[in-house]
Structure 1
Amino acid sequence: MEYVNLDAQVGDLSGVLDPARYLSHLPSVSGDLPPGARAFATDTDHYDFRSRRCVKDLTLRAVRGAGGEEMEVEFQHNCWKHDQDLLIRYVGVSGFVIDPVDEDRGTDLGAVILDEILPHRDGCSHEIACWDGTLTLVCRDLQATWTETICSSKS
């Protein structure tokens, strides 16, 4: 990640997630993002850890169309935090890398820590950091859709 700090220090506490530098940089680059990427990146709930639409703690469920010009990445909710799943559709994909911590994991990257969307000469880059690896896509644009789900583990 270029701007999101996944290992910030706050007082004596280390390992703090801090998107502040990215959020302060985002207004200066949001006009350079394609429309769908801009809408997703600038959504006020996206980096609000208390929001049901914060990407933190979602789990990568599926990657479809890998290697193609159109891809879908599906994220499953965490019942303690979310009441919706997230589906991101990427169009004009020109770059795709899954970098698991352990090669045997494949696309099982664990829960999302945070993500970062930046302008790119091909449209935008979307880097998604998870506890067990990173997923990075470069595309012409993306469309993020939240879909209702039923949480069976809520009491």
Structure 2
Amino acid sequence: MEYVDVDAQVGDLTGVLDPAGYLRHLPSISGDLPPGARAFATDGDHYDFRSGRCVKDLTLQAVRSVGDEEVEIEFRHNCWKHDQDLVIRYTGVSSLVVDLADATGTGLGTVILDEILPHEGGCSHEIACWEGTLALVCRDLRATWTETVCSSKP
């Protein structure tokens, strides 16, 4: 990721998640993002770690093609934090790269953070997870939060 730091240092503490660089940069690039990507990236809850609509701690459930140059990614809630699942539909997908850091190939796992940047003809969306990353380039995206039932919520 270019601006989101998933391994920041605060004092003596390392491995801190820090979206501050991206959030400082976002106002200068948000006008260059397509409408759906802009709405998702600039949502005030997106990087608020206490919010139920923060992407941190969601679990990547499925990546599927849903038509020509369309991809849908489904994220499942974390019962301790979320009461909604997230589905992102990407249109005009020109690139999709999955990088599994975990050689076992068990999947990408839980989301750490993400970053959406302008890209020629649309935007790029990089999603960092504990076991790897997923990066897409697309014309635009639409993020939809849907209510879910969480039986183990404290």
Distance 1:123 1:16 in 2: 30
User: 1:115 aligns to what?
Assistant: 114
Residue identity opposite 1:138 in structure 2: V
Deviation of 1:103 after TM superposition, in Å, equals 4.0
Deviating beyond 2 angstroms after TM superposition, the runs of 4 or more aligned structure 1 residues are none
Distance 1:103 1:120 in 2: 30
Partner of 1:135: 134
TM-score of the pair, normalised by structure 1: 0.96
Q: Distance in 2 between matches of 1:68 and 1:19?
A: 33
The offset of 1:122, in angstroms, is 2.6
Identity %: 77
**For 1:118-144, what per-residue CA distance to the aligned partner results, in whole angstroms no more than 9, with x for missing partners?**
000030000000000000000000000
Q: How many residues are treated as equivalent by the alignment?
A: 154
Q: Which residue does 2:44 correspond to in 1? A: 44
The within-5 A match list for 1:49-128 is: 49-65=49-65, 68-105=68-105, 108-128=107-127
Shift of 1:68: 4.7
What letter matches 1:152 in structure 2?
S
What 5-or-longer segments of structure 2 have no aligned partner?
none
Q: What residue ranges of structure 1 are gaps of 5+ in the alignment?
A: none
Instruction: State TM-score, norm by structure 2.
Output: 0.97
What secondary structure, in the 3-state scheme, does the structure 2 residue paired with 1:113 have?
strand
* Contact 1:58–1:78, Cα closer than 8 Å, also in 2: yes
User: What SS class does the counterpart of residue 23 from structure 2 fall into?
Assistant: helix
1:2: which partner in 2? Answer: 2
Q: Distance in 2 between matches of 1:22 and 1:150?
A: 32
Q: Which residue of 2 aligns with 1:17?
A: 17
Q: Give deviations 1:55-100, integer Å, cap 9, x for gaps.
A: 0000000001189500000000000000000000000000000101
- The superposition leaves residues 90-114 of structure 1 with CA deviations (integer Å, 9 ceiling, x where unpaired) of 00000000101124416x1010000
Give the residue type in structure 1 aligned to 2:81. Answer: K
Aligned Cα root-mean-square deviation (Å): 1.3
Amino acid corresponding to residue 6 of structure 1 in structure 2: V
